[in-house]
């Protein structure tokens, strides 16, 4: 059931009584008590009529034992007055007897008897105790004044701030404390009671306004809750059970934040919301039950994948090829693992931990192999340094044909040697390339002296460019592609042009070819492959074509190594999010990065394959 908020009921106002002196008949005394501001208690005083001096003394003693000192003091005054009257009569009687005996009235001396002595002692005792009592009462009244002022200060702060209606229990406690606090000094009574009454009036006015505002708020709350009921009911049309369930939970959070409604509407709107909520929850739980079967199947598949990884781990890691094969198998398993859904929660962490351990073990074993290859890398470095020295001895040769063949042979040997450490890779390659470039650039300058033939070739290529500009495009992609290839073939057959014009004329020709490719409506990947094919064909027409192609291949190989490293890193990171839902944005972004990295690797491998094919044809 929805929790109902207890409405603040207007408390009954305490009676603020004002102390006033009372006219009391003799024999009745109004005594102030300790439990209220002016709580009075009527005490009937004993009658003194018909009592003698001795019985008055005994009556006062007995009354003192039974009543409080303030009441006793009042009765003591009555007793004293009556006692004085009787004592005066006694004195007069003794005086008359003294004179009757013949004595002079002037010589008469009254001697107080024991009764009068005891009465005086008792009156003094009562007066002393009453004085102490009145002093204590006055001190109590001063304390009560402080307490009531504090109540007014606290109660007034709430009332003036406008939040007293939300602090009903505190206000009620202060009212109770006010009632239970005793009287205050008479001089302060009227002022403090009037302030208390002013605050009560203001408080009750706020209670009235709050009730009206609460009724308005409850009406708005009902409208909001009806809208939330409709929102949950609309989720019945959501095909994704998980999405519907989570959306319902979000709506339920909003429901709990909406305030209360009237008691008349509370149960009905809550029952409506609960029914719609229960329908979504039941459908979600049924969906979860179906998932459990699927998750168990996923667990079996993941166990099988782990078994495949164990076989890879137990395989050989003694050659580069073996390591590459193991790595490809690992990536294949990782790819299939990512496509498998969740395993049961009870075993999910366990199977994933096993999977991660196997992956890490394979990567570690592979790293250990390459670490053991340091000696091989050093040997490869020495071989490449030797080739550098041979190339440097030939770089100034003018035996163009023989030296060209020798350097090309050295380049082929360079290719077969294998990698060296990254620390020395660029340095030794630049050294070797510099020696080769020195020879071939010198050779090119030498043959550039044959400028007349190259000028003729330049004119032929310019004529071919003009012809390409006017070439008509076929609507058939295959025919159009054959047209482009025929122009590329004719371009290649023309031969070399002067070095100073080579870049400009090639750029103009390539630009026209690109325009024809645009008309083929190829996708970006196909377009990129065709563009690279043109680039390779142009490299093959260079005088030092084999050297140019080898350098391009070396550059792409370095890019490929970096791309493969990036792919491995992204795939490794993806493993940490394997248990996430496929709809998770972060997981989708990671998968996009993996797909992008894989395409880069595939593209670079295709480029190397194309260069190798052209090198074999040279």
**Is the model's pLDDT at 31 over the cut of 50?**
no
Distance CA 334, CA 63 (A): 105
**Range in 74-78, 416-420, 447-451, 599-603 with the lowest mean pLDDT:** 447-451
| End position of a domain, from candidates 209, 239, 262 | 209
Of 209, 243, 277, which one is at a domain's C-terminal end? 209
Q: Is residue 467 over pLDDT 70?
A: yes
Q: Which structural domain, as residue segments, surrounds residue 229?
A: 213-289
End-of-domain residue from the set 289, 324, 340 = 289
Q: Per-residue confidence at 449, pLDDT binned at 50, 70, 90? A: low
DSSP 100-111: HTT--GGG----
Q: Is the pLDDT of residue 22 over 60?
A: no
Q: How many separate domains does the chain show?
A: 3
In this structure, is residue 18 part of a structural domain? no
Q: Which of 1-15, 146-160, 457-471 has the lowest mean pLDDT?
A: 1-15
Would 227 be classed as within a structural domain?
A: yes
Predicted local confidence at residue 16, as pLDDT:
31
CB atoms within 10 A of CB 518: 10
Rounded CA separation 38/183 (Å)? 6
- Whether residue 13 has pLDDT greater than 70: no
Residue range 81-111, pLDDT digits in tens: 989 998 888 888 888 888 888 888 888 888 8
Give pLDDT tens digits for 539-573: 777 667 787 888 888 988 998 888 888 888 877 77
User: Dihedral through CA 504, CA 510, CA 512, CA 513, nearest 10?
Assistant: 160
Helix (H, G, I), strand (E, B) or coil at 78: helix
Tell me the average pLDDT across 503-515: 81
Question: Is there a domain that residue 37 lies in?
Answer: yes
More confident residue, 352 or 35: 352
Same domain, 162 and 109: yes
489 Cβ partners below 8 Å, 6+ apart?
none
What is the percent of the chain where pLDDT is above 90? 5
pLDDT at 265: 81
Q: What is the per-residue pLDDT across 473-506, written as a single tens digit (0 to 9) for each?
A: 766 777 777 777 777 778 877 877 777 888 888 8
pLDDT averaged over every residue in the chain: 79
Residue 393 in any domain: the answer is: no
Give domain status of residue 450, yes or no.
no
**Which residues are registered as beta bridge partners of 42?**
30
Strand pairing report for 40-44 and 28-32: antiparallel
The whole-angstrom separation of Cα 332 and Cα 148 is: 84
Across the range 582-601, mean pLDDT stands at 79
Residue 113 placed within a domain: yes
43-57 exposure pattern, b = at least 16 Cβ within 10 A, e = fewer = bebeebeebebeebb
Q: Can you give the pLDDT at residue 450?
A: 61
Q: CA quadruple 70, 72, 75, 79: dihedral positive or negative? A: negative
Shared domain for 285 and 296, answered yes or no, is: no
Residue 438, pLDDT > 50, answer yes
Q: Is the domain of 176 the same as that of 275?
A: no
How far is the C-alpha of 497 from the C-alpha of 460, rounded, in Å?
10
Mean pLDDT of 127-142: 87
Do 43 and 190 fall within a single domain?
yes
pLDDT for 404 beyond 60: yes
- Residue 128: pLDDT band (50, 70, 90) is very high
* Co-location of 226 and 85 in the same domain: no
Q: Does residue 285 carry a pLDDT above 60?
A: yes
DSSP structure string for 578-595: TTS-TT-HHHHHHHHHHH
Kindly state whether residues 56 and 168 are assigned to the same domain: yes
> Given this model, what pLDDT does residue 448 score?
62
Residue 25 has pLDDT above 70, yes or no: no
- The answer to whether residue 386 sits within a structural domain is no
- 49-53, 383-387, 475-479, 549-553, range with the lowest pLDDT: 475-479
Nearest to 388 by CA among 425, 421, 441: 425
Return the pLDDT at 368: 81
Confidence of residue 241 (pLDDT cuts 50, 70, 90): confident
Dump pLDDT digits (tens) for 314-351. Answer: 888 777 788 888 888 888 988 988 888 888 888 888 88
Rounded CA-CA distance 465/506 in Å is 10
Q: What are residue 14's phi and psi, to 5 degrees? A: -70, 150
Give 58's pLDDT tier (boundaries 50, 70, 90): very high
Cα–Cα distance for residue pair 324/319, rounded to 1 Å: 9
Residue 7 within a domain: no
* pLDDT mean over 226-232: 87
Confidence of residue 600 (pLDDT cuts 50, 70, 90): confident
Q: What is the pLDDT of residue 2?
A: 39
d(CA 491, CA 516): 15
CA–CA–CA angle 497, 500, 501 (5° rounding):
55
Same domain? 356 vs 342: yes
Contacts of 167 (CB under 8 A, 6+ apart): 158
Residue 280: band (very low, low, confident or very high) from pLDDT cuts 50, 70, 90: confident
Cβ contacts of residue 355 below 8 Å, gap of 6+?
302, 305, 306, 309, 337, 575
85 and 197 housed in the same domain = yes
Alpha helix ranges (H) inside 101-185:
114-161, 168-180
Q: Based on the fold, state whether residues 64 and 87 are members of the same structural domain.
A: yes
Interval 404-413 mean pLDDT: 88
107 and 38 within one domain: yes
């Amino acid at each position: 059931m929805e929790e109902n908020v207890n409405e603040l009921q207007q408390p009954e106002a305490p009676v603020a009584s004002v102390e006033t002196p009372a006219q009391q008949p003799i024999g009745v005394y109004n005594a102030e008590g300790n439990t209220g501001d002016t709580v009075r208690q009527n005490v009937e005083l004993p009658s003194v009529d018909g009592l003698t001096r001795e019985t008055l003394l005994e009556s006062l003693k007995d009354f003192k034992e039974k009543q409080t000192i303030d009441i006793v003091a009042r009765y003591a005054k009555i007793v004293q007055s009556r006692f004085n009257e009787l004592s005066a009569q006694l004195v007069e009687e003794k005086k008359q007897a003294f004179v009757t005996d013949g004595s002079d009235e002037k010589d008469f001396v009254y001697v107080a008897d024991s009764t009068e002595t005891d009465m005086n002692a008792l009156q003094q005792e009562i007066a002393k105790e009453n004085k102490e009592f009145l002093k204590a009462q006055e001190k109590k009244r001063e304390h009560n004044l402080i307490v009531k002022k504090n109540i007014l200060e606290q109660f007034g702060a709430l009332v003036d701030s406008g939040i007293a209606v939300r602090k009903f229990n505190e206000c009620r406690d202060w009212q109770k404390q006010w009632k239970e606090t005793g009287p205050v000094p008479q001089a302060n009574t009227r002022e403090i009671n009037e302030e208390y009454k002013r605050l009560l009036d203001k408080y009750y006015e706020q209670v009235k306004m709050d009730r009206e505002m609460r009724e308005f708020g409850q009406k708005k709350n009902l409208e909001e809750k009806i809208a939330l009921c409709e929102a949950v009911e609309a989720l019945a049309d959501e095909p994704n059970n998980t999405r519907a369930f989570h959306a319902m939970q979000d709506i339920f959070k909003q429901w709990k934040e909406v305030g209360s409604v009237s008691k008349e509407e509370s149960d009905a709107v809550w029952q409506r919301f609960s029914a719609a909520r229960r329908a979504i929850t039941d459908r979600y739980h049924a969906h979860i039950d179906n998932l459990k079967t699927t998750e168990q199947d996923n667990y079996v598949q993941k166990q099988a994948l782990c078994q495949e990884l164990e076989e890879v781990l137990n395989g050989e890691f003694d050659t580069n090829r073996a390591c590459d094969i193991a790595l490809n198998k690992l990536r294949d398993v990782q790819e299939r693992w990512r496509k498998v859904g969740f395993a049961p929660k009870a075993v999910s962490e366990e199977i994933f931990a096993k999977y991660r351990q196997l992956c890490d073990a394979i990567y570690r074993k592979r790293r250990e192999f390459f670490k053991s290859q340091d000696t091989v890398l050093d040997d490869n470095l020495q071989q490449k340094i030797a080739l550098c020295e041979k190339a440097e001895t030939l770089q100034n040769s003018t035996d163009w044909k023989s030296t060209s063949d020798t350097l090309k042979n050295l380049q082929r040997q360079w290719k077969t040697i294998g990698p060296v450490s990254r620390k020395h890779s660029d340095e030794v390659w630049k050294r070797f390339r510099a020696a080769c470039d020195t020879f071939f650039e010198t050779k090119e300058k030498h043959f550039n002296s044959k400028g007349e033939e190259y000028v003729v070739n330049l004119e032929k290529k310019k004529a071919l460019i003009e012809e390409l500009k006017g070439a008509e495009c076929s609507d058939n992609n295959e025919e159009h592609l054959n047209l482009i290839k025929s122009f590329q073939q004719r371009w290649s057959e023309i031969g070399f042009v002067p070095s100073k014009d080579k870049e400009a004329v090639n750029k103009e020709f390539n630009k026209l070819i690109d325009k024809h490719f645009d008309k083929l409506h190829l996708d970006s990947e196909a377009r990129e492959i065709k563009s690279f094919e043109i680039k390779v064909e142009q490299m093959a027409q260079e005088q030092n074509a084999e050297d140019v192609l080898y350098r391009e291949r070396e550059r792409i190989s370095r890019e490929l190594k970096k791309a493969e490293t990036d792919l491995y890193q992204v795939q490794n990171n993806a493993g940490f999010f394997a248990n996430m839902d496929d709809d998770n944005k972060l997981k989708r972004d990671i998968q996009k990065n993996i797909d992008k990295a894989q395409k880069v690797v595939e593209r670079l491998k295709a480029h190397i394959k194309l260069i190798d094919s052209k090198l074999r044809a040279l």
